[in-house]
Chain A
Amino acid sequence: MVASVRLTNVSKRFDELEAVRELSLSVEEGEFLTLLGPSGCGKTTTLRIISGFEVPDEGSVLIDDKVVNHVPPFRRNVNTVFQNYALFPHMTVFENVAYGLSLRKAPRGQIAKKVHEMLERVGLVAKARNMPRELSGGEMQRIALVRALINEPRVLLLDEPLGALDAKLRYAMQLELKHMHKNLGITFILVTHDQEEALVMSDRIGVMKSGRMLQLDTPREIFERPGSRFVAEFIGTGNLLQGTVSARSGSGGKIALGETRAWEAAAIPDEIPVGARVAVVMRPQKIGLYLDHPPQPPAGCNVVRASLQEIFYAGSIVRFFVDIGGATLLVENIPENLPFDYLSIRPGAALTLHVPASALLIYRD
Chain B
Amino acid sequence: MALRIFAAAAFAFLYIPIITLVVYSFSEARYFTFPPVGFSFKWYVTLFEDRELLQSVRNSLIVTGIVVPATLALGIPAAFAIDRFDFPGKAIFERVVLLPLMVPGVITGLAILLVIKGVDMRLSLTTVAIGHTVGWLPIVVTQVYARLRRFDRRLEEASMDLGGNRRQTFLRITLPGIKNAIIGSALLVFTLSFDEIGMTFFLTGTQNTLPMFIWSMLREGVSPEINAVATITIAISIVLIVVGLRFLGKEKD
Contact = CB atoms under 8 A, between A and B. Distances in A.
User: So, do A and B actually touch in the complex, CB under 8 Å?
Assistant: yes
A72 interface: yes
Interface stretch (A97-105, A227-235, A306-314): A97-105
B150 to A, nearest CB: 12
Interface stretch (A78-86, A163-171, A205-213, A261-269): A78-86
A5 to B, nearest CB: 15
Contacts of B164: 74, 99, 103
A79 B163 CA distance: 9
B168 A103 contact: yes
Nearest to A48: B157
A63 B223 CA distance: 79
Contacts of B161: 51-53, 73-74, 78-80, 82, 148
Contacts, number: 61
A88 B173 contact: yes
B176 A147 contact: no
Contacts of A113: none
B192 interface: no
B56 interface: no
B160 interface: yes
A88 B165 contact: no
B163 A103 contact: yes
A266 to B, nearest CB: 48
Contact of A73 (B154, B157, B177): B157
B155 A88 contact: yes
Interface string B116-158: 0000000000000000000000000000000000001011011
Contacts of A79: 161-162
B162 A90 contact: no
Contact of B158 (A52, A86, A104, A151): A86
Interface in A48-97: 51-53, 72-75, 78-80, 82-84, 86-90
27 contacts: A51-B161, A52-B160, A53-B160, A53-B161, A72-B160, A73-B160, A74-B161, A74-B165, A74-B169, A78-B161, A79-B161, A80-B161, A82-B157, A82-B158, A82-B161, A84-B154, A86-B152, A86-B155, A86-B158, A88-B158, A88-B159, A90-B176, A90-B177, A99-B162, A99-B172, A100-B162, A148-B162
